[in-house]
Structure 1
Amino acid sequence: MNKPYQEISLLEFQTKYQTEEDCEKRLFDLRWPQGFACPSCGHQEYYHVTKRKLYQCKKCRHQTSLTAGTVMHNTRTSLLLWFWAIYLTSTDKRGFSALSLSKKLGLSYWKAWTMLHKIRHAMKNRDSTYQLTGIVEIDDSFFGSSTKGSSKRGRGTSKTAVIVEASTHGDAVGFAKMTVVDKVDSASIDHLVKASVRVNQPVKTDGLPVYTIVSKSGHNHIQEIVKGKKAHEVLKWTHILISNAKSFIMGTFHRFGKKHLQAYLDEFCYRFNRRKWELQLFDRLVTACVNSQAIYFAELTQ
């Protein structure tokens, strides 16, 4: 039985992907695993317009490229550089800043920055297809720096609010999600729970009143007041995730604002959720990049 994702080491990656043609072959297989199918009419016969690197349907004459509609849509960067960026991003637990990637691959800062954010976009899209099951821990945290002169801490701070969700099964943690919100209130909690938690799951929170909305969403709400206990004893895994995510972001990116915080959290969660499949991480991520919808530079900077 063939594994759905290929396992590949650094040496194997270097051997397998040496040329643009090597990358093109892999993208073709990922886009059309059963053979070419015209995105317009579904016809399977095509002409290869070699000079323009296009595939033209013999029936309706629609033309498409390997990267059309993917995160690499309209790219002028070689596929070999894309593959290296995806490999480095997926396999380094610390992640890559745009400055580090630009130096590693000899790219301009803004090209590296754009590629990384497009890759994170694919990570976000892939994880958005999953819902949490088991006993789901939910907690809130605050990332970044407070407004200058502010002395408030915790839920009174001016830092960016993040809702953290983790599916747990016995003593083990499964899948994690982290979402930036404008504020920690009932509306935000209700929206996230309905979107990310499968119906009829036990959901565990602390005693903050806004979490009472969970029971109204059809879940078994386990609410435990932290008073007299340490918070990490009540919500063990969300606290571990929060600590690890902050270390990841501050250790790699050093400074960040609310605008791109969600993208960094998406990267952290994507890698965490696949921690058991380290050798498959490149193949999983390049597949996600091919199957993710296109996103443009203007959308990333707005």
Structure 2
Amino acid sequence: MFQRPMTLLEFQAKFPTDDACRNHLFSLRFPDGFRCPRCGHDRFYVIRSRHLLQCQSSACRHQTSLTVGTIFEKSRTPLRKWFSAIFLASHDKRGISALTLAREIDVTYKTAWAMLHKIRHAMRTREQSYKLGGIVEVDETYVGGPGENPKPGRGTNKTPTLVALSLSPDGKPGYLRMQAVENVKGETIAAFLNQHVEKEAIIVSDGFPSYAPVAQDRPVLAMKFDPKNNPDHMKWLHRAVSNAKTFLLGTYHGIKGKHLQAYLSEYTYRYNRRHFQGEWFNRLLQASISASPITVAELTG
């Protein structure tokens, strides 16, 4: 059932304080009521000075936090600012830059950058939890920042990126995957497909020779791309790639290097939820508490 997107005023009214955010986190982490993560006891009390939940079992007394095991773990940033960052990141399909986020929620650029990358980590973790199936279009593209070699296609010095898009039974675009890779050799393509695409899926590709080894283990329909005589060949994938490059250039002014994959994962996460507009905030918040913690050192290392 279609859900109307939450407005900014509705969001602010629902989460005016950190306590309101903690109460919402509690309902998400313990939807059936509290259960001690160590002993399973169902009674607890709150240590308010430290925002901890302590098990009331005399044999346990385990203390836990609502943020442990999430991207919020050990963060000194107030939960209300985290919730605001997730709301802003989820409600604009163009994404939000660290500079804009820093200004909107009154944090430093460094803090905003780390928050957004932790949110992208949650997006990527969620996308890795399932594989594409059915008919899957597969191709490669090349992504880079402004000023890099503008030569199109194979031979450019931009980052090679593998792309897979599943199709629904009526031929409409389904779910997307994009992965930055070192090269587009057959073994690289095979590893990408093994990670992201079900073994029984039918692969649709162009006539690039690197797909030949893949055809030994998977059903592959290869057809040389001819934009003049067959413009509809993999048209949905090509459109998704074009939109991804616009996304990267529009909000982030081009991305390259070690963080490229984080932005590609952000785009695919958004693309795959394009039909769930009213659920964007709750879905991204759920992804954020389901993903494992990641430190700034891990993000920058």
Residue of structure 2 in register with 1:56 after alignment? 54
The reply to whether residue 291 of structure 1 matches residue 279 of structure 2 is no
Gaps of 5+ in 1: none
The reply to whether residue 118 of structure 1 matches residue 143 of structure 2 is no
The reply to whether residue 34 of structure 1 matches residue 32 of structure 2 is yes
How far apart, in 2, do the equivalents of 1:259 and 1:201 lie?
A: 30
Percent identity of paired positions between Structure 1 and Structure 2: 43
How far apart, in 2, do the equivalents of 1:258 and 1:231 lie?
A: 35
Amino acid at match of 1:188: T
* Counterparts in 2 of 1:43 and 1:230: CA distance versus 1, 3 Å: farther
SS of the counterpart of 1:279? helix
Q: Is the 8 A contact 2:35 2:43 kept in 1?
A: yes
**Once the two structures are superposed, what CA deviation does each residue of 1:89-140 show, in whole Å capped at 9, x if it has no partner?**
0010110110011111111000000000000000001111121122100000
Range 290-299 or range 206-215, more displaced? 206-215
**Once the two structures are superposed, what CA deviation does each residue of 1:136-186 show, in whole Å capped at 9, x if it has no partner?**
0000000014997x6854211111010011001233101001001011111
* Counterparts in 2 of 1:292 and 1:208: CA distance versus 1, 3 Å: same
Displacement of 1:64: 1.1
The reply to whether residue 237 of structure 1 matches residue 236 of structure 2 is yes
Range 50-59 or range 203-212, more displaced? 50-59
Range 175-184 or range 228-237, more displaced? 228-237
Gaps of 5+ in 2: none
Displacement of 1:57: 1.7
Residue of structure 1 in register with 2:157 after alignment? 158
Q: Is the 8 A contact 1:46 1:55 kept in 2?
A: yes
Q: Is the 8 A contact 1:102 1:108 kept in 2?
A: yes
Displacement of 1:294: 0.5
Q: Is the 8 A contact 1:189 1:213 kept in 2?
A: no
Q: Is the 8 A contact 1:142 1:154 kept in 2?
A: yes
Which structure 2 residues correspond to residues 124-203 of structure 1 after superposition, within 5 A?
Answer: 124-145=124-145, 153-169=152-168, 170-203=170-203
The reply to whether residue 22 of structure 1 matches residue 20 of structure 2 is yes
Residue of structure 2 in register with 1:107 after alignment? 107
Amino acid at match of 1:264: Y
- Please, what is the CA RMSD of the aligned residues? 2.0
Residue of structure 2 in register with 1:11 after alignment? 9
Amino acid at match of 1:69: G
Displacement of 1:6: 9.3
Amino acid at match of 1:68: V
SS of the counterpart of 1:72? coil
Give me the TM-score of the superposition, normalised by structure 2: 0.93
* Counterparts in 2 of 1:82 and 1:226: CA distance versus 1, 3 Å: same
The alignment covers a number of residue pairs equal to 297
How far apart, in 1, do the equivalents of 2:274 and 2:105 lie?
A: 25
